[in-house]
Structure 1
Amino acid sequence: MKFIIQRDQLIAGVQDVMKAISSRTVIPILTGLKIEAKQHGITLTGSDSDISIESYIPAEENEIVNVEQIEEGSIVLQAKYFPDIVRKLPEKTVEIESDDNLKVTIRSGKAEFNLNGQDADEYPLLPKIQTEDSFEMPIDLLKSMIKQTVFAVSTMETRPILTGVSVKLEDNLLTFVATDSHRLASREVPISNANTEFKNIVVPGKSLNELNKILDDTEEQVEISVTNNQILFRTKHLNFLSRLLDGNYPETSRLIPEQSKTKIQVKTKELLNTIDRASLLAKEERNNVVKLATQGNNQIEITSNSPEIGNVEEEMSIQSIDGEDLKISFSSKYMIDALKAIEYDEVTIDFTGAMRPFIIRPLDDTSILQLILPVRTY
């Protein structure tokens, strides 16, 4: 195998696939990074058997040559050393060559590294997903769906299914739901002309976080396909494959209250900042509890009290209050996470009493929903 490649292209591809490589894998060869050279371009692969990422660098694109003098072949290189070597090479191009004894030479300018490679035939084959049953959506929309839900997954392994995001596509409506049983985040997006439907699939939160980091904020499309235990996200130069979590996701729709007793409308940023200030004194407590109380003339009061430290009170004018008076306590962290995820200037919050879950939605947009369970305070 031999080729000469633009160094910045190689660095970008290596950075993407490194997100799937773990030093703690049980399959030794997976600590390496696979390089495959074909006449049309170079494919880099990294995997930890939960997530697999393939990054493709075409030999030529838009009349720009990325890779030249290609002699086909493949090799696996130690991921521990290769990325740092490539990053620190002196010139703009890199020549990579391997011989029959799996010895690899990396040259750039006057620098030359010799590494021991591993046989690429021993690298596990990635499952091939049939892409007929797939649908497409804009990348930036997928990223916002991930951002608005994935923070609410559970970090506790006691219920593994809750460490993932439930994804379903029915009647051309794509829904993401995440919950850790104390809060819930959901987002719906209509998908035009999807030729597939699925439900009961749960994608690990960790996979979606990594995918979100790799995808560029563009309006280009990502193609998504699902099989019984894998999901594939495919863009022009990237294949991102994740295993799915086993088990049934809890039925969350019954958690969402049908009617509300108190409804407030408030500027997102102002409420966020007020709760953030109130939480400064609640840091020591496990839940960072703050209290919200409605007052007359469109005022609410946000308070927090830590007996050992002190207390904080802040009154705040809001757009409107409808319904019964209310006093409620909740985790400031959950509230801050939820408000940050809603990228709208104003939100409505529907309460159904001090001990029932409440719902935060952007004004005039029902596709985004955040639900939080209150905290009992005596």
Structure 2
Amino acid sequence: MKFIITREQLVNSVQDVMKAVSTRTTIPILTGIKIEAHEDGVTLTGSDSDISIERFVPAEEDDHVNVTIEKPGSIVLQARFFSEIVKKLPDSKIEIEVYDRFSTHIRSGSSEFNLNGLDPQEYPRLPEVQENNRFSIQADLLKTLIRQTVFAVSVSETRPILTGVNWRIEDNELKCVATDSHRLASRSATVEASSEDMDFSEVVIPGKSLTELSKILDDSSELIDIILTESQVLFKAKNILFFSRLLDGNYPDTSKLIPNDSKTVMIVSTKEFLQAIDRASLLAKEGRNNVVKLSTMDQDQVEISSNSPEIGKVFDHVKTESLEGDELKISFSAKYMMDALKAMDCSEVQIQFTGAMRPFVLNPIEERSITQLILPVRTY
């Protein structure tokens, strides 16, 4: 194998596939990146058996030559060393040549490296996916969906199904739900799908996979094709394939968690409320579970407070745009509230309370496709 590739294309491609490479894998060859040179260009693959990423660099694109293939072939190179090498090579062009016994020569400007490669035949094949269950969504909207839900997945492995985000498609609407049993994040969006033809319409995608996918996607209106199978999901973007395994098991029915009624409803500036919670949490971090208390007051104000006996107390006041219903004193995790507010993307948020020990719901004023739910904390 021998080819010459532009340094920029190689660096970007290696950075993308590195997101799937794990140093803690039990399969030694998966610590490497597979590189295949063929007539159309160069394909790089990284995998940790849960996530697999394939990045294609076309030989020519938009009248620009990315790769010159002199001899087709393939090799697996140690990801950690190869990624560091390509980032630090001096010239805009990099030549890679493989000799006998997988010895690989890398040249760029005045620099030369020799790396011992691995047999590409031992590298696991990527899953073959039937494209029956397929729908499309814009890349920037997909990134938003991930950002507004994935933070609420569980980090505990005691209930593995909760470490993923539940995706359900119905009538060309995708609904994403994440919960760790203490909070819930839900976001829905219209997708381009032929959901009538789909064999099944509900999957649970690991939160880790969605986080890594989000780092690769561009903020563009380019359509991403999403293909579902019983055990895998495939995201197809321009020159990128991103595979992830799905989580086994039944996701809990979260629809019953959302209260139908409310006793106290307030509308506040998202930014002002977030800043007040942030200030109150400065002392709460030292106390139990980062808990702050909200108390309704007269004259359209709420008081945010926290008390850490060893450190001190903090009181902050936020003016509400409107405040209706019963008086309320309620305690909750400052972190959960801040995470929810940051995911809102709105200037004003409506919060509906059903009592001091009942879950409460946050919705943006302008957008009803986003719902955040938080369970309060008992502090007395």
TM-score norm. by structure 1 comes to 0.98
Partner amino acid for 1:297? Q
Partner amino acid for 1:21? V
Counterpart residue number, 2:58: 58
- Corresponding residue pairs, total: 378
Counterpart residue number, 2:161: 161
Structure 1 position 212 matched with structure 2 position 246: no
Structure 1 position 270 matched with structure 2 position 272: yes
Alpha-carbon distance, 1:69 to partner: 3.4
Counterpart residue number, 1:256: 258
- In 1, distance between residues paired with 2:171 and 2:70? 47
Counterpart residue number, 1:136: 136
- Indicate conservation of the 8 Å contact 2:346/2:366, yes or no: no
Q: Using a 3 Å threshold, how does the CA distance of structure 1 residues 59 and 126 change in structure 2: closer, same or farther?
A: same
Alpha-carbon distance, 1:285 to partner: 2.1
1:196-229 Cα offsets, whole Å, 9 max, x none, are 5444411111111111111121111111011000
Counterpart residue number, 2:364: 362
Counterpart residue number, 2:13: 13
1:160-179 Cα offsets, whole Å, 9 max, x none, are 11111111111111011000
- Indicate conservation of the 8 Å contact 1:37/1:73, yes or no: yes
Counterpart residue number, 1:176: 176
Counterpart residue number, 1:294: 296
Counterpart residue number, 1:240: 242
- Indicate conservation of the 8 Å contact 1:38/1:70, yes or no: no
Alpha-carbon distance, 1:47 to partner: 0.2
Query: Relative to structure 2, which stretch is displaced further, 310-319 or 142-151?
Result: 310-319
Q: Look up the SS of the partner of 1:81 in the other structure.
A: helix
- In 2, distance between residues paired with 1:220 and 1:349? 34
- In 2, distance between residues paired with 1:288 and 1:22? 33
1:230-275 Cα offsets, whole Å, 9 max, x none, are 0011101111100011111111110000111111011100000001
Counterpart residue number, 1:352: 354
Alpha-carbon distance, 1:193 to partner: 4.0
- Indicate conservation of the 8 Å contact 1:262/1:324, yes or no: yes
1:328-367 Cα offsets, whole Å, 9 max, x none, are 1100010000000110111100000111000000003210
Counterpart residue number, 1:279: 281
Q: Look up the SS of the partner of 2:165 in the other structure.
A: strand
1:71-125 Cα offsets, whole Å, 9 max, x none, are 2111111112111111111110001111242111111122211111111111000
- Indicate conservation of the 8 Å contact 1:146/1:209, yes or no: yes
- In 1, distance between residues paired with 2:119 and 2:376? 56
CA-based RMSD of the aligned residues comes to 1.1
- In 2, distance between residues paired with 1:204 and 1:125? 21
- In 1, distance between residues paired with 2:288 and 2:8? 46
Structure 2 unaligned blocks of 5 or more? none
Structure 1 position 101 matched with structure 2 position 101: yes
Partner amino acid for 1:351? F
- In 1, distance between residues paired with 2:108 and 2:361? 58
Q: Look up the SS of the partner of 1:101 in the other structure.
A: helix
Partner amino acid for 2:181? S
Correspondence 1:30-69 to 2 at 5 A: 30-69=30-69
Counterpart residue number, 2:24: 24
1:110-156 Cα offsets, whole Å, 9 max, x none, are 22111111111110001011224211110000000000000000111
- After superposing on structure 2, the runs of 4+ consecutive aligned residues of structure 1 that deviate more than 3 Å are 192-200
- In 2, distance between residues paired with 1:11 and 1:117? 19
Correspondence 1:190-201 to 2 at 5 A: 190-195=190-195, 196-197=197-198, 198-201=200-203
Alpha-carbon distance, 1:374 to partner: 0.3
1:5-52 Cα offsets, whole Å, 9 max, x none, are 001100000000001001111111111100011111110000000000
Q: Look up the SS of the partner of 2:80 in the other structure.
A: coil
TM-score norm. by structure 2 comes to 0.97
- In 2, distance between residues paired with 1:219 and 1:26? 38
Q: Look up the SS of the partner of 1:36 in the other structure.
A: strand
- Indicate conservation of the 8 Å contact 1:39/1:70, yes or no: no
- In 2, distance between residues paired with 1:285 and 1:54? 46
Counterpart residue number, 2:379: 377
- Indicate conservation of the 8 Å contact 1:200/1:249, yes or no: no
- In 1, distance between residues paired with 2:375 and 2:51? 32
Partner amino acid for 1:19? K
- In 1, distance between residues paired with 2:99 and 2:278? 59
